[in-house]
């Protein structure tokens, strides 16, 4: 009995030394949880000693090699890691948007806008100077080119974010596949009565990686079959209709097929706007019945938030472009795609849509309903032939000189509200005879830049709009991406009075720069805008009154505020995650001092057991010699 007891002591000490060696070797291995030897007393056996029944001890035994880790800290780490990665993506995106807008700077939109109005001031002082007219056109082209470039860069950024989102979704699907496979291997080893510590470390490392992309919930249920226990591991994500099981522990697959039988759902990109659907593992595309990943945090949520933010700033620039040009109408010559998420947001909810052949203008939401448009890939397509009226950029201006209104003007702007000095508000349609002469001081309400120019006169005749959408825009309303200059310097109206030239044509009165001066003064003209601080969910009910320059300042200010909030979130989450990581390390990390102490203890215990065997051997040798 003594020899067996001492032998067990040697085996326990050897297991302890081996565990210490394993811990030391993996001290710097990411995700490794230190192990300790659980030692228990062997059951005593009854034996008569000196005529009395006594319990004779049999020494110690190794119960298990225990893996030391805290489920609570692991879960907290993954939750906060998801929040940090979401904030990192948003912060990075907002920094890129700041670089694209590049405000304030000598190359930004605000500087180009200032140069534009200064060119009009110069033309007002020298209305007959061709170089002054050319300077206005050049300044307008510079302004539109900066807007086009900015819009195109934002569009490219949004495209890059969509690609990054797709990569993140693919990475999540790969990790889910690996986690499901490892969970099957763990259950298989447990069923064989083995301890899968290394596989548990591997699964925890995979779960930590998964938390970079999305948050999730896990559940482990221990079941017993045939006297053998094993863990059924399940993992769920939160969808629009509630939790959705991605890995089903009840379908644990000991054969571990490909794909694993316990992997029941995966993710797919549902639309260009960033929606991600949770679909059965057998499906590669989303349907309307599938749940949409919702509020999960991680890089996926960060990319979704970033796509929405970029769309918002694109819409803000479109509001700026339409406000610069002023109210107008256009007819689509090809289909126009509008994101479904922006239907009730500016500038789209500031437009009126009249179906081809129809007479009643409708809001975009009503137009979609009445025309039976179907959302496809997260967007609606407005059909060709639709007439679209924009309303942004309307201002109240006072004429600096008399205005001669032609019959064409009366028909085009019949509903424009006007008020002559000392008179009551009326409209152009109230004037039966044409042309009509309006005196200086007449107030025009809800008039935009393009409309003012068509009320005036150039050396070639009636003024023409300065801004329009590009020829490739298919008749779309003006946006930051498609705004362009439509006229030559000789078509640019600088005055409001007209005369008949030698050929009988109605042209501008030489030296009349009142219209150019009026437009130059519009640099500080007040108008109403949707408030940028309302975000992408704005319905337009919150408004900002100011100039174009002040609106752009508000957009940049909102961007700065968002960037600061994102930066604060990143700093706080980085600190919090480090604290949790330190706590994890204190529980699961390998302490070299502790391991060396344990090694000495096991070494001494081994030596003691060896001394017992040596003593027993000496006793048996002496006994044999005496016999």
pLDDT at 201: 92
Distance, in Å, from the CA atom of 493 to the CA atom of 136, rounded to the nearest integer, reads 11
Q: Where do the structural domains in the chain lie, given as residue ranges?
A: 2-68+590-626, 85-161+313-567, 169-307
Structure tokens at 316: 């803000």
Distance, in Å, from the CA atom of 476 to the CA atom of 482, rounded to the nearest integer, reads 9
Q: Is the pLDDT of residue 615 over 90?
A: no
Q: Is the pLDDT of residue 365 over 90?
A: yes
pLDDT band at 528 (very low <50, low <70, confident <90, very high): confident
Residue listed under structure tokens 């339409």: 322
Q: Is the pLDDT of residue 534 over 60?
A: no
Residue 103: name the closest of 564, 554, 567 by CA.
Answer: 554
Distance, in Å, from the CA atom of 192 to the CA atom of 131, rounded to the nearest integer, reads 91
Q: Is the pLDDT of residue 484 over 70?
A: yes
pLDDT at 408: 65
pLDDT band at 285 (very low <50, low <70, confident <90, very high): confident
pLDDT band at 273 (very low <50, low <70, confident <90, very high): confident
pLDDT at 362: 94
Distance, in Å, from the CA atom of 576 to the CA atom of 192, rounded to the nearest integer, reads 40
Q: Is the pLDDT of residue 539 over 60?
A: no
pLDDT digits (tens, 9 = 90+) for 118-132: 999 999 999 989 899
Cβ pair 315, 342 in contact under 8 A: yes
Cβ-proximal residues to 215 (8 Å cutoff; 6+ apart), any chain: 78, 79, 82, 238, 296, 297, 298
Angle at 336 between CA 333 and CA 338, to 5 degrees: 165
Percent of the chain with pLDDT over 90: 49
Q: Is 47 exposed, middle or buried (0-12, 13-18, 19+ CB in 10 A)?
A: exposed
For residue 104, is the peptide bond before it cis, meaning its omega torsion is within 30 degrees of 0? yes
Any bridge partners for residue 336, and if so which? 382
What region does 321 belong to: left with phi over 0, alpha with psi -120 to 50, or beta? alpha
Cβ pair 377, 272 in contact under 8 A: yes
Q: Is 544 exposed, middle or buried (0-12, 13-18, 19+ CB in 10 A)?
A: middle
Distance, in Å, from the CA atom of 310 to the CA atom of 562, rounded to the nearest integer, reads 12
Percent of the chain with pLDDT over 70: 95
What is the sign, positive or negative, of the torsion defined by CA atoms of 356, 358, 359, 364?
negative
Residue listed under structure tokens 């620039």: 317
Task: Tell me how long the chain is.
Answer: 627
Please compute, for residue 110, the number of CA atoms within 13 A of its CA located in the half-sphere on the CB side.
Answer: 16
Q: Is the pLDDT of residue 49 over 70?
A: no
Q: Is the pLDDT of residue 398 over 80?
A: yes
Cβ-proximal residues to 446 (8 Å cutoff; 6+ apart), any chain: 327, 391, 394, 395, 396, 416, 417
For residue 259, is the peptide bond before it cis, meaning its omega torsion is within 30 degrees of 0? yes
Residue 364: name the closest of 324, 396, 336 by CA.
Answer: 336
Cβ-proximal residues to 620 (8 Å cutoff; 6+ apart), any chain: none
Per DSSP, the three-state class of 60 is strand
Mean pLDDT within 264-275: 86
pLDDT band at 411 (very low <50, low <70, confident <90, very high): low
Asked which of 28-37, 141-150, 189-198, 496-505 is least confident by mean pLDDT, the reply is 496-505
Mean pLDDT within 77-102: 95
Task: Name the average pLDDT for the chain.
Answer: 88
For residue 505, is the peptide bond before it cis, meaning its omega torsion is within 30 degrees of 0? no
pLDDT digits (tens, 9 = 90+) for 568-598: 999 999 999 999 999 988 888 888 888 898 8
For residue 572, which phi and psi values (nearest 5 degrees)? -65, -45
Cβ pair 289, 303 in contact under 8 A: no
pLDDT at 178: 95
pLDDT at 12: 84
pLDDT at 48: 66
Distance, in Å, from the CA atom of 506 to the CA atom of 397, rounded to the nearest integer, reads 24
pLDDT at 459: 86
pLDDT at 132: 94
Residue 384: name the closest of 457, 333, 435, 437 by CA.
Answer: 333
Distance, in Å, from the CA atom of 355 to the CA atom of 339, rounded to the nearest integer, reads 19
User: Which of 100-104, 361-365, 582-586 reaches the highest mean pLDDT?
Assistant: 361-365
Asked which of 9-18, 130-139, 188-197, 308-317 is least confident by mean pLDDT, the reply is 9-18
Residue 45: name the closest of 36, 55, 35 by CA.
Answer: 55
pLDDT at 556: 92
Q: Which residue has the higher pLDDT, 50 or 443?
A: 443
pLDDT at 627: 67
Mean pLDDT within 67-74: 89
Mean pLDDT within 491-517: 85
Q: Is the pLDDT of residue 97 over 90?
A: yes
Distance, in Å, from the CA atom of 164 to the CA atom of 96, rounded to the nearest integer, reads 15
Q: Is the pLDDT of residue 11 over 80?
A: yes
Q: Is the pLDDT of residue 46 over 80?
A: no
The terminus-to-terminus CA distance of the chain in angstroms comes to: 21
Cβ pair 589, 34 in contact under 8 A: yes
Distance, in Å, from the CA atom of 211 to the CA atom of 209, rounded to the nearest integer, reads 5
Q: Is the pLDDT of residue 99 over 90?
A: yes
Q: Is the pLDDT of residue 541 over 60?
A: no
pTM of the predicted protein model: 0.88
pLDDT at 251: 92
pLDDT at 55: 67
Mean pLDDT within 564-570: 95
């Amino acid at each position: 009995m003594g020899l067996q007891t001492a032998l067990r002591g040697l085996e326990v000490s050897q297991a302890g030394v081996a565990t210490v060696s394993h811990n030391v070797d993996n001290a710097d291995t990411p995700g490794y949880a230190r192990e300790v030897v659980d030692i228990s007393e062997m059951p005593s056996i009854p034996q008569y000693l000196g005529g009395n029944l006594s319990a004779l001890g049999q020494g110690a035994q190794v119960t298990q090699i225990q893996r030391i880790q805290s489920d609570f800290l692991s879960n907290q780490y993954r939750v906060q890691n998801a929040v940090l990665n979401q904030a990192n993506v948003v912060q990075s995106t907002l920094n890129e948007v700041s670089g694209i807008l590049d405000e304030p700077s000598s190359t930004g939109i605000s500087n180009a806008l200032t140069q534009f109005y200064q060119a009009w001031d110069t033309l007002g002082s020298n209305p007959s100077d061709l170089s002054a007219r050319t300077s206005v056109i050049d300044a307008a082209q510079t302004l539109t080119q900066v807007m086009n470039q900015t819009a195109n860069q934002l569009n490219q950024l949004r495209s890059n974010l969509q690609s990054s989102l797709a990569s993140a979704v693919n990475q999540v699907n790969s990790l889910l596949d690996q986690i499901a496979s490892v969970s099957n291997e763990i259950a298989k080893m447990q069923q064989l009565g083995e301890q899968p510590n290394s596989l548990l470390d591997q699964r925890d490392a995979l779960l930590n990686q998964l938390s970079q992309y999305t948050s999730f919930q896990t559940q482990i249920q221990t079941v017993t079959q045939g006297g053998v226990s094993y863990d059924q591991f399940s993992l769920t994500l939160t969808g629009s209709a509630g939790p959705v099981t991605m890995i089903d522990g009840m379908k644990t697959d000991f054969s571990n097929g490909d794909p694993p039988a316990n992997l029941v759902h995966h993710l797919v990109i549902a639309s260009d706007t960033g929606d991600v659907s949770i679909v059965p593992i057998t499906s590669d595309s989303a349907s309307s019945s599938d749940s949409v990943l919702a509020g999960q945090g991680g890089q996926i949520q960060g990319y979704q938030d970033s796509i929405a933010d970029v769309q918002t700033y694109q819409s803000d620039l479109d509001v700026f472009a339409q406000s610069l040009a002023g109210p107008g109408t256009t007819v689509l010559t090809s289909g126009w795609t509008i994101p479904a998420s922006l239907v009730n947001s500016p500038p789209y909810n500031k437009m009126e849509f009249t179906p081809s052949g129809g007479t009643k203008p409708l809001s975009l939401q009503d137009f979609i309903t009445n025309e039976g448009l179907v959302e496809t890939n997260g967007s609606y397509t407005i059909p060709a032939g639709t007439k679209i009226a924009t309303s942004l950029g309307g201002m109240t201006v006072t004429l600096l000189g008399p205005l001669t209104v032609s019959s064409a003007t009366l028909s085009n702007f019949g509903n424009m509200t006007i008020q002559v000095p000392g008179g009551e508000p009326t409209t152009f349609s109230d004037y039966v005879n044409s042309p009509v002469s309006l005196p200086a001081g007449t107030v025009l309400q809800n008039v935009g830049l393009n409309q003012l120019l068509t009320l005036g006169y150039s050396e070639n005749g009636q003024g023409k709009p300065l801004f329009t959408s590009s020829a490739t825009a298919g008749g779309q309303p003006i946006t930051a991406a498609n705004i362009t200059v439509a006229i030559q310097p000789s078509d640019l109206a600088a005055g409001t009075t007209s005369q008949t030239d030698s050929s009988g044509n109605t042209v501008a009165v030489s030296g009349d720069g009142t219209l150019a001066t009026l437009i130059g003064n519009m640099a500080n003209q007040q108008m109403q805008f949707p408030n940028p601080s309302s975000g992408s969910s704005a319905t337009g009910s919150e408004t900002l009154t100011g100039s174009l320059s002040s609106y752009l300042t508000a957009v940049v200010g909102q961007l700065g505020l968002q960037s600061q909030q994102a930066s604060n979130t990143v700093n706080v989450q980085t600190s919090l995650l480090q604290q949790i990581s330190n706590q994890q390390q204190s529980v699961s990390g390998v302490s070299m001092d502790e391991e060396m102490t344990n090694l000495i203890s096991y070494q001494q215990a081994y030596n003691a057991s060896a001394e017992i065997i040596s003593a027993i051997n000496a006793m048996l040798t002496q006994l044999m010699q005496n016999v």
